[in-house]
Amino acid sequence: MGFGVFIHRTDSIYDDSPAEQYQFPSQYLGRVQACVGDWIIYYEPRKVAATRGYFAVAKVAQVIPDPKAPGMYMALLEPGSYLDFVNAVPFNGPNGVIEHGVLNDAGRISGRAQAAVRPISAADFNRILSIGLAENQPELPRSGEAIDAILPSGLAESTQAPFIFDLDRTRVTQLSSRVVRDRLFRRLILQAYDKRCAVTGLKLINGGGRAEVDAAHIRPVEASGPDILSNGIALSGTAHWMFDRGLIGLSDDLEVLVSRHANDRDSIQGLINRTGKAIVPAGIHERPHPQFLKWHRENTFKH
């Protein structure tokens, strides 16, 4: 087993779904198989406009031949392992390339940097994670909850940011911690939505600097919903409650739908921002994905 880097483009010709599967040709079979049971980092190449650089981490569960495409294979990701980075990590940092393994003996970028799948050292893996998941301005707890109570043992905000890794591979177990993932997912969503409720349009900050908005999963974690930005939406407490109970939903074009089972439709309509549509980030990969919106309409929304 070993860490790896998988190159992914939003406009890829391959049948990729980063939180679920990664399609690749046979020439990379050995490299991908070496990652089974271990973690990989997704990278978007520099030639992509507005590239995200290194943008997410996931765990490879198994590799199978692609039943739909001869000569192609699928890396299936472990459900619930995908996690978007809070901070995009560029290929080049202030001190040169972040991934030292792409350099040759002369210190120049080698052909390895062009490989769609490549192994990555534990040192490079930890370095990228320490940047991608760093929390320089940790979100405060919602209401008087002690900070130590929401952080894993030894990760209190008074001591250090939770994802400053050393070379100890046991630290990657934190990537499976629901407490850690929930906190990072909240930061990711609030950052993308500028701490503004997508339904009401309100951006409320309490006296302690805490945003009064929740990071909601569209397809819940309990229903195999991944911690990917496109499966999240920022909602105020009331809107979140209604969304989780199926009283409101979203169409594929982001129109806010109100259930006919709601007992006070007029008041609910009054809460929706004047556009009648969810206010979402500009980037395509940041917006709610239609597949998650469809799941919510079919499994949660009360028609």
Supply φ then ψ for residue 55, to 5 degrees.
Answer: -130, -10
- Please report the pLDDT score of residue 175 as a whole number: 87
Backbone angles phi, psi at 217, to 5 degrees: -80, 135
Pairing of strands 39-43, 21-25: unpaired
The Cα 246–Cα 25 span in angstroms is 42
Residue 257 banded pLDDT, cuts 50, 70, 90: very high
* pLDDT tens for each residue of 74-111: 999 999 999 999 998 999 988 899 999 999 999 999 99
* Residue at token pair 């799948």: 117
What is the per-residue pLDDT across 16-53, written as a single tens digit (0 to 9) for each?
Answer: 889 999 999 999 999 999 999 999 999 998 888 778 89
Confidence class for position 291, pLDDT limits 50, 70, 90: very high
Q: Give the residue-averaged pLDDT of 270-282.
A: 96
The pLDDT assigned to 9 comes to 83
- 231 is written with which tokens? 């499966």
Residue in this structure with the two tokens 């390895």, named with its chain if needed: 112
- Report the mean per-residue pLDDT for the chain: 87
Q: Which of 60, 52, 57, 43 is nearest to 7 (CA)?
A: 43
pLDDT at 48: 81
Which tens digits make up the pLDDT trace of 156-172? Answer: 333 334 444 444 554 57
